[in-house]
Amino acid sequence: MKTIKPKKLQKGNTIGILAISGKIKEFAKIKNAKAFLESKGYKVVISDTCKTSHRYCAGNNEKECLNALHDFFNNKEIDAVLCARGGFGTLKLLKNIDWNLIKHNPKIFAGYSDITVLLNMIYKKTGLITFHSAMANGDFGGVIEDYTAISFFNTLEGKTICLNARNRNVFKEGTTQGILWGGNLATLVSLCGLDFIPNEDLILFLEDLNEPVYKIDKMLTQLFNIEKIRKNVKGIAIGEFKDITDKAELNEVIQEFANELNIPICDGFKITHNALKDTVPVGAYCEFDSGNGLIKIKEEYTC
């Protein structure tokens, strides 16, 4: 499938804040995010689903969320779609998404956590590069970290060429190439059973939170029991498994996978639920050097 590069973000563009996952508990945070983005020189529109909810999900119902997603892609005045928050809900939308509508109206689509579902499925179904990024509610709705904001804008403006791991553990040293692909581990695993794996060499990046080590082990095992994953994943860049109870035990598990898979693996990337986070272009072709903790993006990922 041909890769589609979204237009880079420019001052004066309109960013649409879209809630299609967990419900928004404090609309004031969405208004704060709007004010922040406007202060940086962008116009902002907010989906009605930021104001409504059913159970733990945004919007009055799934159809309302689906329509909001379609409307934001179809709206020629919206240049970039920034998801409001994660939680749960995007998995329910997959069976009814109009992938051709998205393919023929390409634009920046950004978020993380539960949004991992759409980041990867949009790329798989359309070839459109998406962005694992900070979101409106949790990142731009309260205390805003300069590091996170700079990474967000630089990446959406097409300026990011390298991601650096810090205080890293190198589980298997080596250099390899492929497209950046992945996100939240638990959410990625929720796609098992669907046709979600690209037919390309992959640099898998992962993060999660509040998961005990045995569940991380279980989820990694589930992924790598898939023959296509074992064949296509050429390296693993690990962000943060936030609030882990036993880091040494987790490192043992990852080392076992490194020994078995025999592919470059290191951790230490700012791909995380924490406040300091990098924005990562999903589908961008890169070189991964685990020994030096570097992801070097080799091609333009915006146009």
Q: Give the active site residue among 64, 132, 133, 273.
A: 273
Closest C-alpha among 67, 129, 56 to residue 93: 67
* CB proximity list for 92: less than 8 A, separation 6 or greater: 57, 62
Compute the CA torsion angle 220, 151, 57, 59 (nearest 10 deg). -140
Q: Give the active site residue among 64, 207, 211, 240.
A: 207
Closest C-alpha among 98, 83, 86, 87 to residue 131: 83
44 and 37 Cβ atoms separated by less than 8 Å: yes
DSSP symbols for 195-219: S---SS-EEEEEEEES--HHHHHHH
The verdict on whether 113 is a catalytic residue reads yes
d(CA 37, CA 60): 26
- Go through the chain and tell me how many residues it has: 303
d(CA 208, CA 183): 8
Q: Give the active site residue among 53, 113, 133, 190.
A: 113
The verdict on whether 77 is a catalytic residue reads no
The verdict on whether 207 is a catalytic residue reads yes
Catalogue the active-site residues: 113, 207, 273
